[in-house]
Structure 1
């Protein structure tokens, strides 16, 4: 049926096929990402109308009002991004919601940069569509925090690492150092990505050529230099971010084992819809997986080792040190598996399936905007949130008014306990 459809497509499929023709000419993927960002920003604007922004997004903006090389809870990247965004865009709810989705869109762009090294045409689109069926790039992304900011940084750093390993060029080595440092100032959990790069390089058959070149050592020097202002901040301020991170390392062997189980199950759940979609696309061709894996090209094999490291290393550390391990900490790494699954196939995928998956993704997005978003808004405006988001705007307005009645001094900041 797929072959017949590709030979003589139905009329309604023809606009989609023309769009897929534009993948290699350069406009199809940007259009897909722009539509994704636009429609999910609209979803957020409708679903949270009258409810205020997520506390994590507000925290990022609050931190970014005062530039620093570090902040008490997390490294500074979220604050820097929020400050840069609000310096250009108006300070409104929809603007910060657009910031969150633009971050997710940028993540998809960097994922596509990796995918295009291995496949051409509509297979590149398949990678993005599969990721759009996960909750990471919509619902996880809307909480713009230290986890969500890594959605874009991890694929960017991975792309640079793949290019540095392949070419061993000094420019790509510098890019690896800068982007891994950027990942680290996003969240210290990124140490698992950096360690996975090292593990992948050591496990790859071309390790001798890489480690006897200047590339890895340039990356180390540049990365440490880029991190040095933050390291100095840690040394001179008491390293409060480390203290906050270590609060997650108070578990027992039993609790850590349970966390690891839930971590793996959570990641499987996040990829479940995408996995079912791929099974329907591949069909009986799934039996070719062992042959495809054995014939995997060197770049994809390097990516495979990175993917293994991003899962195995945090699991091992959690079991050894007794740390918490929520699955949402690793959602930014799901792109690795989507690329491996789609790009690792040695058989062609009919456009029939890409068009079908596009329709599914578009249907989910439209249903979210037209049905789920207004339903959510009505429900939350009647039942409210545990953290009191419905009253943020009124409380801020009241506090500002009372402050101005007392003094002409500017109200620099307001703080308090975290919500229960």
Structure 2
């Protein structure tokens, strides 16, 4: 047998061993209780950095999306509302562009920083139901979800929800476990952040409320101060924005009614079906790759 026929096989073996070593190193960091948090934060930072570079290249011939320009304009003044939405997405943009230059790359960096923050919080949520190895696997699959990479290129109120909504779920799990006054404060504050980002946050608040009511330990939770402190904290924290809403005659709701009013039931059904198909398509990439990884593992 010639040397030429042996070398390719040797290279393949070396390559497989290298991949296995890298995979083993990643697994060891992901399951280490002392290193896993910083490892996940590092993964999120690398994710944000790489996708910012990719988006700069992909979008080089395009103008900044109008939603991003709108968020930048809102952030020039820290108001209690901006006509279309509650103020938190504008506040985040305002702080961001006081630190970073107003350039195309910084808008993509803002979007990727938002989704990468969500990766870390989702990892903290996953740790409450699975081990560290599976929690990191979830982070990797989530990073492959298109909203967390190329489809998340534009920072707006929708993308900004990836900051408070995972925090709300984490705060709820913490409050349900500890049932303390302090945990109720955090839950109420998280609920306020969700509503101050976009009013759709009320659906998540309703979801965690339903989860609490159908849980077998609901009586213990409802007898604790946590849920009532959370409700009170959220209402008190929302008062300035509620006053602003009344002063502007609830203009964000008028805007939503004008923009999202549908002319017919057929169009409504069409849009719902399109929404479902679109989201199933987005899920296909991480689901398929996750199944492949599980089968190969």
Where on the TM-score scale, by shorter chain, does this alignment land: which range? 0.7 to 0.9
Provide the secondary structure at the position in 2 that maps to 1:70: coil
For residues 203 and 252 of structure 1, do their structure 2 counterparts lie closer, same or farther at Cα, with a shift above 3 Å needed? farther
In 2, Cα distance between equivalents of 1:262 and 1:206? 39
CA contact (8 A) 1:107 1:155 kept: yes
- Which residue of 1 is the match for residue 28 of structure 2? 21
Query: How far did residue 21 of structure 1 move?
Result: 1.1
In 2, Cα distance between equivalents of 1:260 and 1:50? 33
In 2, Cα distance between equivalents of 1:169 and 1:125? 29
Provide the secondary structure at the position in 1 that maps to 2:159: coil
Provide the TM-score with structure 2 as the length reference. Answer: 0.88
Query: How far did residue 52 of structure 1 move?
Result: 2.4
For residues 194 and 121 of structure 1, do their structure 2 counterparts lie closer, same or farther at Cα, with a shift above 3 Å needed? closer
Q: Structure 1 segments of 4 or more deviating over 6 A? A: none
Provide the TM-score with structure 1 as the length reference. Answer: 0.63
- Which residue of 2 is the match for residue 56 of structure 1? 67
Q: Are 1:98 and 2:130 matched, yes or no?
A: no
- Which residue of 1 is the match for residue 279 of structure 2? 267
- Which residue of 1 is the match for residue 197 of structure 2? 186
In 2, Cα distance between equivalents of 1:235 and 1:142? 34
In 2, Cα distance between equivalents of 1:185 and 1:57? 18
Q: Greater helix percent: which structure? A: 2
Alignment partner of 1:246 out of 243, 248, 257? 257
Alignment partner of 1:209 out of 220, 223, 229? 220
Point out where structure 2 has 5 or more consecutive residues left out of the alignment. Answer: 1-15
Query: How far did residue 51 of structure 1 move?
Result: 2.4
- Which residue of 1 is the match for residue 96 of structure 2? 85
Measured against aligned partners, the alpha-carbon deviations of 1:146-177 in whole angstroms (never above 9, x if no partner) come to 10001122111100011111211222211111
Q: Could you say what the CA RMSD is over the residues aligned between the two structures, in angstroms? A: 1.7
Q: Which has the higher contact order (CA 8 A, sep 6+)?
A: 1
Alignment partner of 2:119 out of 100, 108, 116? 108
Point out where structure 1 has 5 or more consecutive residues left out of the alignment. Answer: 1-8, 284-351, 354-420
In 1, Cα distance between equivalents of 2:193 and 2:20? 42
The 5-angstrom pairing of residues 126-275 of structure 1 reads 126-247=137-258, 248-275=260-287
How many residues of Structure 1 are paired with residues of Structure 2 in the alignment? 277
Measured against aligned partners, the alpha-carbon deviations of 1:42-87 in whole angstroms (never above 9, x if no partner) come to 0111122242211111110101101100011111111100111111
- Which residue of 1 is the match for residue 291 of structure 2? 279
